[in-house]
Structure 1
Amino acid sequence: MATQKLYAGAKLRDMRTRMGLTQKDFAAKLGVSLPYLNQMENNNRPVSTTVVLALAQEFGLDVTELSTGDSERLVSDMREALADPVFAEAAPPLADLRLTASNAPALARAFIELHRAYRQTHERLASLDEALGREDARMQASPWDEVRDFFHYCDNYIDAVDRAAERFATGQEPSQDIRVLALAQLKAGGVKVEFVQQAALRSYDPDVGILRLSARAAPETQTFQALLQVALLTQDKLLEATLDFARFQSDEARAIAKIGLANYYAGASLMPYGLFLAAAQECRHDLEVLAARFGASVEQVAHRLSTLQRPGAKGIPFFFVRVDQAGTITKRHSATRLQFARFGGACPLWNVHRAFETPGRFLRQLAETPDGVRYISLARDVSKSGGSFGAPVRRYAIALGCEVKHARSLVYADSLDLGQDSAFEPIGISCRICERKTCHQRSVPPLERRLTIKPNERGVLPYEVN
């Protein structure tokens, strides 16, 4: 099999700009000519092995950062945006999208943002009777989507926050329990912690310095919420500096992101990077073993596994997703080539939907996406009790997976026939951009294909995809 050429012009330009080097100086450090560097930065030439080695030796670059993960993610997001019926007659070919993602990633992100604004405007117009007269009826980017995309394009790994949490969790006595450490940190800061019968998981009164945690919550949830409050009280400068770097468009997005960063700090403290990565590799990523070892929930462990993308010490690139009973994606992240629909639910053929039918059990699935990439996916239901009789129970399903080439590092791959083509089920991302012709669960036709309608014939679908 031929080795795939690496085009990373945008990343080379960005790296050179961050270091304040001219093309001439950068070329000299890499040991190439100025015209050759210029061609690489414009993706007229692939990045050579000599340049990759020079980047690693001269600048200490983790060469995996030159991979096309961001480009593929942008291509996936653009394809979904272009699946909107408004582009039915003008959708560019896939090759053009790949060129845009590689050569002009800023333009690609601007296009995605523009389409998102269009979608929100369209939805507001569809419910104009409700929006009329409201002060907040003006169009603006969804703060939630803005924050989601921030984490999405950071590979869900925030280095400064992750390392700060690791220092906090491992800088004490080796035997120090993280729950005890969190409560001690709060006490040292003048905060009194009370466990009370309340519906809210966490409530902090800064005027009297009292943190109230729900006595109804599971122990791992209580610990997580205590660590979250530690982050808000002791890491404010770090969180604010990270928010300044992100440049969010609204105060609401910034506020949501700050809670997201505090959540990140809590998870990274509960499961410190180095210790957690070593433990995950040792037990072959057994979620239940890791949950017991680190005093975390299965969902917390699965989410943490999807963040192990520290340069120079990366774990397996996982995807992680959580869906509700309606199939709506409530959490999503992918460090793999598999991307999730930005609008609507996940593919109905995916095992995450079947997890609701088998509570308390792990479901395994070998799956193949339309681009031919194969994955192993693990799904399980997650119920969150309200803590008292009559309180509503929130039910979700989570899925964690990776490309099948990493399957041998997962205990869940044992006994699966990885070499049998028929063992892999076909899944997609969104019906509008999925090119499968015979899917029995298709809800709408693919926009990039022509249809044939035969009034006298009816198969699985009322049309044929050409």
Structure 2
Amino acid sequence: MPPQKLYAGAKLRETRLQLQLTQKDFAAKLGVSLPYLNQMENNNRPLSTAVVLALAREFGMDVTELSAGDSERLVSDLREALADPLFASANPALPDLRLVGANAPGFARAFLDLHRAYRQAQEQLASLDEALGREDTTLRLSPWEEVRDFFHYCDNYIDAVDRAAEHFAARAKPGVDFMSHAAATLNDRKIALRFIAGEDLRRFDPARGVLELSAKASRATQAFQLAHQVALLTQNDLLDATLDLARFQSPEARAIAKIGLANYFAGAAMMPYRQFLAAAQDTRHDLETLAERFGASIEQVAHRLSTLQRPGAKGVPFFFVRVDQAGTITKRHSATRLQFARFGGACPLWNVHRAFETPGRFLRQMAETPDGMRYFCLALAVTKGGGAFHAPVRRYAIGLGCEINHANALVYADGMDLGREGGYDPIGISCRICERDNCHQRSVPPLERHLRIDPDHRKLLPYSIE
């Protein structure tokens, strides 16, 4: 098979603008002519090997970013949005969507924002009686979804915050564990740490100078909440600067994002980037061993693995997802080509749903998506108790996975025949946009395909997909 040509015009143009170079100066540094650079930036010609090497040599670019970035995510999101019945008369081909994602990512995001606003308007109109009873019926984007997309398109890696957390962890004195180091940081600021029997995980009273943590919470949760408060107290300027760059549309979105950034700092401080990456590679990504070594929960470790995307020092690109018992995705991120549905739940054929049947046991799965990509998937049910007999118990399933060519780097792939053609389960993103016509778990017809209904012939589904 001939090597795939690399079209990365948008990324090339973005790099040049960040360097504040004219096309003429940029072309000179890359050793190409001005017309040739113009053609590459407009995706009329692919990047040559010489240009890729020049980007790495002259500007220290991580060339793996040229084939990554937002394009695959945008294409996946565009396909799902265009599957809406609103666009029934429009059916752009997949190559056209890829052109939009590669050449006009700003337009693609604007279109997705518009569609999201439309969906929210429809949802509010559907409950008009309730809305009329409110004083504020202004239609606007969901702050939660806005923040979700912010992290989604940042590859779930925030470099400045990640490095600040790593620097904080490195300042710990030899032999001092993370909790003690974080508590000492609070003590330097005249803040006392107390453990209480209440239901709140964390409560900070700046007037009294007291941080209270739940005595019922696990050690990993206590450490995480402590690090979260440290982030708010010691990294406030950095967090605000990052939020300023994001330009959220509402105060609510900014407030939610600040919590997300503080959570990011907490995980990165507990599991410092270079130290954690080395341990992950050394243990072949054994979640239990990593959790024990870093005093974290398995969920915290799995989420941290999905953030190891530092340019020049990337780990295995993972996807990470958390699903509740109703099948709703409550956390999602993918550094792989696999993207999750923006609306609704995950594919029912995915092993993350079966994890609830075998709590405490890792489930392994080899899966293939309709585009022919193959993945190694790991799923585990997670229970979060309330610390008392009558306290509510929360149950989730977490999923972690990578493209099959990285599977041998995981201890969980040992003993599995990764080359067996019949060993891959067919999964999709969501039924609305899944192209498979023979899925026994399909819940709704695909919106991009025509249906044929024969009242005299019934198969597993009451329709056939054309």
1:406 alignment partner in structure 2: 406
Q: How far is the alpha carbon of 1:20 from its aligned partner? A: 1.1
Tell me if 1:294 matches 2:276: no
Task: Tell me by how many angstroms 1:94 deviates.
Answer: 1.1
Distance 1:314 1:68, change over 3 A: closer
Query: Contact (CA 8 Å) 2:172, 2:178: kept in 1 or not?
Result: no
What per-residue deviation string (whole Å, max 9, x for no partner) do you get for residues 51-86 of structure 1?
111111100111011114410110000000011111
**Kindly tell me: are residues 416 and 136 of structure 1, through their superposed partners in 2, closer, same or farther at Cα, counting changes over 3 Å?**
farther
The Cα of 1:176 is off from its aligned counterpart by 2.4
- Find the counterpart in structure 1 of residue 36 from structure 2: 36
Return the letter of the residue paired with 1:398.
I
Partner residue, 1:352: 352
Structure 2: how far apart are the matches of 1:64 and 1:365? 27
Q: Which residue of 2 aligns with 1:420?
A: 420
CA deviation profile, 1:193-240 (whole Å, cap 9, x unmatched): 100001110000111111000000001100110010000000001101
Deviation at 1:88, TM superposition (A): 1.3
Q: Please show how residues 44-443 of structure 1 align to structure 2 within 5 Å.
A: 44-443=44-443
Q: Counterparts of 2:74 and 2:452 in 1: how far apart (Å)?
A: 31
- Secondary structure of the corresponding residue to residue 375 of structure 1: strand
SS of the equivalent of 2:130 reads helix
CA RMSD of aligned residues (A): 0.8
How far apart, in 2, do the equivalents of 1:356 and 1:130 lie?
A: 36
Match of 2:375, SS? strand
Residue 456 of structure 2 aligns with which residue? 456
Write the letter of the residue equivalent to 2:305: L
The 8 Å contact of residues 196 and 212 in structure 2, kept in 1 or not, is answered as yes
Equivalent-residue separation in structure 2 for 1:135 and 1:278 (angstroms): 54
Secondary structure (helix, strand or coil) at the match of 2:438 reads coil
SS at match of 1:351: coil
Q: Cα offset for 1:18?
A: 1.2
SS of residue matched to 2:461: coil
C-alpha distance in 1, partners of 2:160/2:284?
A: 27
User: Helix, strand or coil for the counterpart of 2:194?
Assistant: strand
Q: Per-residue CA shift, 1:372-392, capped at 9, x if unaligned?
A: 000010000111111112111
Contact in 1 for aligned 2:173/2:181 (Cα 8 Å): no
Normalised by the length of structure 1, the TM-score is: 0.99
The count of residues paired between Structure 1 and Structure 2 equals: 466
In the alignment, the residues of structure 2 paired with residue 62 and residue 281 of structure 1 have an alpha-carbon distance, to the nearest angstrom, of: 20
Q: Is contact 1:69–1:337 with CA below 8 Å preserved after alignment?
A: no
Classify the secondary structure of the residue corresponding to 1:454.
coil
* Cα shift at 1:417: 1.1
Q: CA deviation at 1:448?
A: 1.7
Aligned with 2:352: secondary structure?
A: helix
**Residues 106-152 of structure 1: CA distance to partner in whole angstroms, max 9, x if unpaired?**
00000000000000000001111111131232110110000000000
**Percentage of pairs with the same residue:** 73
Cα deviation digits, residues 76-103 of structure 1 (max 9, x gap): 0000001111111113111111110010
One-letter code aligned to 2:151: F
For 1:61, what is the secondary structure of its paired residue? coil
User: Is the 1:69–1:335 Cα contact (8 Å) retained in structure 2?
Assistant: no
The TM-score with structure 2 as length reference comes to 0.99
In structure 1, stretches of 5+ residues that fail to align are none
- Pairwise CA distance, 1:453: 1.3
- Rounded to whole Å, the distance in 2 between the matches of 1:135 and 1:68 is 45
How far apart, in 1, do the equivalents of 2:170 and 2:445 lie? Answer: 53
* 1:20-69 deviation digits (Å, cap 9, x = unpaired): 11100110011000000000000000011111111111001110111144
- Residue identity opposite 2:360 in structure 1: G
Q: Secondary structure at the match of 1:352?
A: coil
Deviating 4+ runs (over 4 angstroms): none
For residues 178-205 of structure 1, give each alpha carbon's deviation from its aligned partner in whole angstroms, at most 9, with x where no partner exists.
Answer: 1110111011111111000011100001
Deviations 1:407-455 (A, max 9, x none): 1100000111111111100000011110001001101111221222111
CA contact (8 A) 1:9 1:41 kept: yes
